Amino acid sequence: MSTTTSHALPSGAQPAPRSSILVATSAVAAAGTMLMFGMLAMWFKFRDASPLRESAGGKMIHDWLPSDIKIPEVITNTMAFTMVIACVMAQWAVYSTRRNDSSHSTLALAITSVIGIAAINAQVAVYLQMNMGLTDGAYQTMFYAVTGTMLALLVTGVVFSIVAMFRAVAGRLGDSSVMSAHALYWYFLTAVFVALWFVVYVQK
């Protein structure tokens, strides 16, 4: 057995770290972007395939959004705005970490987490206000599927923020790439949410 081991190819020297967490987060963000954009593409496909009808304003529109469903625009617009603020907070955490400022890093990450929780809360409020059943029609099923997936991604973002915050509280600020990865993840979340907001809530 020892002979076997001695003949196996030896591992090389450990290379210098090159921001593995940042690169992995980039790959996850790319995958997440493809996930959400793929789902939005499917949404377009179904919307374009729906029959045409005359709107209240006299225009011919696709009969996709059922006429009895009202989208709570104030909440959804606030969500989009809030997500942008989360990015600013996440970037503030990077800025503070690079200056070894633990208290401001912690504060920035705490605010990011709270904003994430607020966004989740807002999404739940959207569901409650729209008050539609998942089985009521194709629109409803797809609406819950696409926004539910976004909600799951938001939950992972909040978990990431909380983990990063505990690192900051513990003073582990030596490796700023974790904070950069965290900020990148929130940029990704915001970008896909804005795309979803425009397609699902604005264009309808």
Partner 1 sequence: MNTVNSTATAGHASTSSALGTVANWITTTDHKKIGRLFVGASALWMLVIVGVGVALGIERIASDSAIFNLNSVTQLFAMLRTGTTFGVLLPLALGFGIAVVPTQVGSKSLSFARLAMFGFYAWLIASGLVIGSIIANGGPGGGNPQMVDLYLMGVGVGVVGAIAASVSLVTTVLTSRRTGLSLLEIPMFSWSVFVSAISLVLTLPVLLGSLIYVAVDHHYARLAFGGNKGIDMWLGWGFSQPQTFLYVIPAIGLLAELAPIAARIRQPLRGAMLVGVGIVSTAMFGTVTQTSHVFVWSGSLIDKLKSAIPYAWFNLLPILGVVIVILLSLLAIQKGKKRLIAPLVPTFLGVGMILVGMAGNALQMIDSAKLSGSVFEEAAVTYIAYGAMLCAWGAIAYFGPALWGRKIPDISVIGIGALGLFATVLAAFPYYLAKDQVGGEVSDFDYSGPQAVFNTAVSLGHALMLFCLLSAIAISIKSLSSGETVSATVWSDQ
Contact footprint for partner 1 (CB under 8 A): 3-20, 23-24, 27-28, 30-32, 34-36, 38-39, 41-42, 46, 134-135, 137-138, 140-142, 144-146, 148-149
Cα distance between residue 43 and residue 48, in whole Å: 9
CB of 117 to partner 1, least distance (A): 23
Cα distance between residue 24 and residue 20, in whole Å: 6
Indicate the residue among 6 and 67 with the shorter CB distance to partner 1: 6
CB of 74 to partner 1, least distance (A): 27
Contact 145, 39 (CB under 8 A): yes
Helix H or strand E segment including 73: helix 73-98
Cα distance between residue 81 and residue 96, in whole Å: 23
Indicate the residue among 102 and 141 with the shorter CB distance to partner 1: 141
Indicate the residue among 108 and 183 with the shorter CB distance to partner 1: 183
CB of 114 to partner 1, least distance (A): 28
CB of 160 to partner 1, least distance (A): 14
Contact 83, 190 (CB under 8 A): yes
Cα distance between residue 125 and residue 129, in whole Å: 6
Indicate the residue among 11 and 67 with the shorter CB distance to partner 1: 11
